[in-house]
Chain A
Amino acid sequence: MNGIKFLFAAYIATWVIHGVYLGSLVRRFGKLRRELKEVGKGK
């Protein structure tokens, strides 16, 4: 049974999902830091 392509598909899918989630965390961090800076400036 040649399952190599399925094996690699599963491993790649795992890291794509983790990558997308980590990317969303970085984006949200950046957005909140900018927002906090703006609120700080307004005071």
Chain B
Amino acid sequence: MKRLFPILSILTAVFLAYALHLALGKSTPTDAQQGEVYRIIYYHVPSAWTAFLLFFVNFIASIQYLVSRKPSTQAAAKWVVLAIGVVGVVACFLPAVQRLIPAGMRPSAVATTVLLIPIFYFLIGWLFPGDRLDVLAVTTAEVGVVFCTIVLVTGPIWARPVWGIWWAPGDIRLTSTLVLWLIYVSYLVLRRFSSSAQTQMLAAALAVFGALDVPLVYLSIWYFRTQHPQPVIGGGGSMDPRMLHVLLISWMAFLCFAFLVCWSRFRLELLHREVEEAHAMESLAGEGVAAKASLPLNRGPR
């Protein structure tokens, strides 16, 4: 494992450099309307997708952590998640439900997304047993906030030359993304400054509600007319295949990078807990010594 990390780091650095070369290279066409500035898409959109994925993993890990306290709840949750997967996939192909799906969005794409819920649920539960679920939750929340910050920084930089403004107040896509960022920042603040024994449970509950904002952010441009462009990927519009190719390569590179950052943050959290445990043992040992030393004194007066 110790050797694998540097090897993967080098491969990811090469992959990111290749993605950057494609993003800025002459082989990728320039946008007819926006010119070269459109190339911000190769960092802005992959960062947003990576943040969504990390918040989704945080959501699943938080639910798993909440239900893992009681075996009966855990068993019930497994059946509920299975039911969500089966019913959700079947429902996507019913005409009544298809009418609710925004025009241009493929029902098969929605069904695939719904199917990811049980897949991720069981995979995460299997890979991260017990308290490691909580470690995974804090890891994905923190790295997700970093990627979401990039979205909120690169978005206005892109908006200024294209829209003529840095920010469109009241735009639902922009506002919901900012709210999403604030929710996860408050999640991290809660974890950092609360010393209650219930902090992990409270944070998990906050994460479950916070994750509800992710579909709102994603679907806002499908359901509402916004200053933010309407979707050009996933059936909502058209994108030059060469641009789409570079966008997907860039996303893969950022996913590899996010994986490595999460790996480091996960190890850091384990180390942090190890240090806390060592401090607790030290103070317990200290109390033990103090108690032994004070025993004769306590008994003396009797």
Contact = CB atoms under 8 A, between A and B. Distances in A.
**A and B interact:** yes
Given A11-B43, A28-B268, A32-B268, A6 B275 contact: no
Interface string B5-43: 000000000000000100000000000001111111001
A10 B275 contact: no
A36 B47 contact: no
A39 B278 contact: yes
A7 B271 contact: no
Contacts of B43: 10-11, 14
Interface string B50-87: 00000000000000000000000000000000000000
Interface stretch (B121-129, B155-163, B171-179): B155-163
A30 B280 CA distance: 20
Task: Place the interface of chain B in its size category.
Answer: 20 to 34
Nearest to B271: A32
Task: Place the interface of chain A in its size category.
Answer: 20 to 34
Nearest to B257: A18
Contact of A39 (B35, B37, B282): B282
B244 interface: no
Given A25-B268, A39-B275, A39-B279, A17 B37 contact: no
B157 A13 contact: yes
Interface of B: 20, 34-40, 43-44, 47, 146, 149-150, 153-154, 157-158, 160-162, 257, 261, 264-265, 268, 271-272, 274-275, 278-279, 282, 285
Interface of A: 1-4, 6-7, 9-11, 13-14, 17-18, 21-22, 25, 28-29, 32-33, 35-36, 39-40, 42-43
Given A11-B40, A22-B261, 5 more contacts: A4-B37, A13-B157, A21-B261, A28-B268, A39-B275
Q: Which 9 A-B pairs have the closest CB atoms?
A: A3-B37, A39-B278, A10-B154, A3-B161, A10-B157, A10-B40, A1-B35, A32-B271, A21-B146
